[in-house]
Amino acid sequence: MNYWILKSEPDVYSYDDLVKQKIGTWDGVRNYTARNNLKEMKKGDLAFFYHSNIGKEIVGIIKIEEEAFQDPSSEDGRWVAVKVSPVEKLKHTVTLKDLKADPKMQHIELVRLSRLSVMTLKKEDFDYILDVAESKK
């Protein structure tokens, strides 16, 4: 299993929007590195849903339901999308500020490459962020 961070502006598409849909299409990605990450996703992989621009925080966990297919928002065959479903809203959000202040998180792409919209994450980092979300007050 692989782990990811997927970023969306909450005023465009939020975690709550995904919950209402039950299964959503993660489309509109127009960066080659992010696209390549989408292509690497496998059904059953887990990802954090990150609200960008507003909040700048990890708010929930989502699951990859369908592997990469032609992005329906583009006629250009280079772009792909995946299907995702909500798994769980985090007990407490984990902000970008929290991660940047944590010496154990300096290596993750969200801290180093904050503009990338689809990022890889190691299992131990995924688990650590979950622990942070559970222990926050």
Using one digit for the tens of pLDDT, what is the confidence trace for 52-85?
A: 999 999 999 999 999 999 999 999 999 999 999 9
Question: CATH number of the domain that 111 lies in?
Answer: 3.10.590.10
What is the count of structural domains for the chain? Answer: 1
How far is the first Cα of the chain from the last one, in angstroms, to the nearest whole number?
30
Task: Give residue 136's pLDDT.
Answer: 79
pLDDT-based confidence at residue 114 (cuts at 50, 70, 90): confident
Helix (H) or strand (E) run with residue 90 in it:
strand 80-95
Residue 8, domain extent? 3-135
Size of the chain, expressed as the number of residues it contains: 137
Q: Are 47 and 84 in contact (CB under 8 A)?
A: yes
Task: Extract the tokens encoding 110.
Answer: 């969200």
